[in-house]
Structure formats: C-alpha cells, structure tokens
Amino acid sequence: MFDVITIGSATRDVFLISKSFIALKSKKFPTGSGECVALGSKVDLDKLVLTTGGGATNSAATFASLDFHTATMTRIGDDSSGKDVIDDLSRFGVSTHFVRMIKNGQTGFSALLTMSDGERTVLVYRGVSSKFDAKDIHWEGCKQTKWIYLTSLGGNLALSKKIIQHANKCGIKVAWNPGVLEIKHGMKEIKPILPIVDILNINSEEAKLLTDKKTIKTMLGTLQTKGAIRIVTDGTNGSYAIQNGTILHTQTTGARAISRTGAGDAFGSGFVAGLMKKNNIKYALAIGTLNAESVIQSCGAKNGILKKWPSILSIKKIKIS
C-alpha cells in the first residue's frame, strides 16, 4: 500500500542561465514583456543545470523526501531522457513500477532561459506527456494508495474526471492540481467533479480563467465545496485557502528566487504532505510555503526540495491569518 501515487507529466529539463538574457517591455508580448537576446549573436551561459521535471515527478520527489511511500504514473519515451527520469525518481526512492514507457516515443523536454533575477521563459516540447489516455493509468494500482495527487494530463479532462471518480469509488482521497489546458475546458465542465475533489490547488491566473471572478476571495467562494479545501496561490503575495467558508492567507518570507520553476509543484505537494502528517491546514500551508521557498532558491524543480520536516522555529516564521 502506498501513501500517495502521483499522476501527470515527466520531462527532461535544461536550465540555461545567463546575464545576457534581458527583459524588454512591449505590448507585442502577451505578458507585457519579453525575454530577449541580440539576434544573430552568440550568448555565453553563466551556468548550465540538467535535471528532470514535470508535475508527477516533482511532486513525487517531495512526498518521498518526506518519507512517504510514493509511486508515480507517467509517460516517458524509450530514449535517454526517459532513462534520466527513471534514474532521478529512483534516486528519490519513488516507485517507478507504474511508469509507462512508449516505444519509439520522445520524453517531454523543457529548455528554461533563466535570467539573473530568477524569471524565465520556458521552451516546451511535451512529447509523449501530451497524449495521456486510459491505458496509461494502472487502475488496479490506483486502489493501492491512500491519496492520489493528480496533476495536468495535457488537457485530457475526461481522463482526469475518470481518475477522480475511480478514486472516490475506492475511498481514496484526491488532491488535484490541473494545468491551464484542463482549466480551459471551463467551469461548466469542471464544476460537476469538484464535490469529490478533496483538495483543489490552482494559481491566481488559472482561478481567474476558471471562475471569471476578479478577486481571490470571490474565486475561492465560487470554487468551495463543503468540507473540501480550495487553494489559490498568488506568487510572492502568498497563498489563500478556504475550507467550510473560512479563508486563510499565508505570507511568504520574501526568500530570494534563483529560479521559480517548480514552485507550484513544491507548494502543492508540500501542502498535501503536511496535511497527511498532521491533518492541520495551517501546518500544511506552512510546509507548502517552506517547500516552495526552498525550491526557488535552487535551479531545478527537485534540487531544493525539503529533505526533512522543517523545525518548529522555521514553521513559526510563516505568517498565516
């Protein structure tokens, strides 16, 4: 019996870090600014970091590092990047028994152009992670766990729903961290499944897109379901959680970011790990925050993951109101 099984993507990540990457504000970019280099130039890198990522493997690394018996279900190719994913999961002590290797497939790949302040642009090739279907899920294996931590399945909302319904039928708790591709299906498609999702964790941009509300308080109110926990993260502004009408705001400590990649996975998995350990939402929020802040102080979504439970002193530094 596993404590938790994570489900979602796996990638090979390459961090390219250079002072030559600069941000230019322009309305030509959807975010209002672009990360730029001189066209036709040769750019020297200050640092190169090779690691693995993806929602399923990042979250699995957190759970395993905090001594939970953990497995992951994901898709990889039978290429060198897929081998790297398996090796990394094994290094963290995560069971790879349910990992599906696709013959002649390419593992997802990300190149992260990272500036000196930690902001980055991610070039993504989703590879076999973009094509999840029911054959990728070990349905009997899903019965062998207390929790399922479900991340993005490349926009396959129908499969996400099937997994959540299967878990509910088997009496397994579900934490869901959907990606924007799932969110884009809209509230009409997602709302019917929410009553059987124990924890929903999304960021403020996703929450705005899903609920069409302007404030985090109204977003949370729209998403809440009796007894369940709903979380909206808001970057350096911290995170917000609601349960049975009570809203909690968790502040960050202002830790300096070297790279923000993996912060969302670290917070979400850290929160669930904390809840699994003490069944206390404030404790869980503190663990999620500390895990995310530890991750952003390193390059690589797994390199900064907490290796042990934080001290009481560290937990007291997290302000929750």
DSSP H helical segments within 122-252, as ranges? Answer: 157-169, 180-183, 187-190, 204-211, 216-223
Measured over the CA atoms of residue 231, residue 216, residue 244 and residue 171, the dihedral's sign is: negative
Q: CA geometry: angle at 149 spanning 204 and 194, to 5°?
A: 60
**pLDDT of amino acid 292:** 96
**Among 296, 285, 290, 292, which residue's Cα sits nearest to residue 311?**
290
Asked if pLDDT for residue 121 goes beyond 80, the answer is yes
**CA separation for the pair 202, 204 (Å, rounded):** 7
Query: Averaged over 309-317, what is the pLDDT?
Result: 96
Q: What is the mean pLDDT of residues 166-188?
A: 97
Structure confidence at residue 92 (pLDDT): 97
Confidence at residue 191, expressed as pLDDT on a 0 to 100 scale: 95
Task: Give the mean pLDDT of 224-236.
Answer: 95
Sequence spans of domains, the chain: 2-21+46-124+138-316
Return the pLDDT at 316: 95
Residue 298 has a pLDDT of: 87
Beta carbons of 201 and 265 less than 8 angstroms apart: no
Residue 33 pLDDT > 80 = yes
Among 8, 15, 11, smallest CA distance to 109 is for 11
Q: What is the pLDDT of residue 179?
A: 95
Q: State the pLDDT at residue 117.
A: 77
| % residues pLDDT > 90 (the chain) | 88
Query: Which amino acid makes up residue 222?
Result: T
**Tokens 């969302």 identify what position?**
264
Q: Give, in words, the CATH class of 2-21+46-124+138-316.
A: alpha beta
Split at pLDDT 50, 70, 90, the class of 113 is very high
**Mean pLDDT, range 281-300, rounded to an integer:** 95
Say which amino acid occupies 82.
G
145: which 2 tokens? 């766990």
Sign (positive/negative) of CA torsion 201, 205, 211, 215?
Answer: positive
- Rounded mean pLDDT of the chain? 95
**What is the per-residue pLDDT for 250?**
98
Compute the distance between CA of residue 108 and CA of residue 13 in angstroms, rounded to an integer. Answer: 9
164/297: higher pLDDT: 164
pLDDT at residue number 74: 97
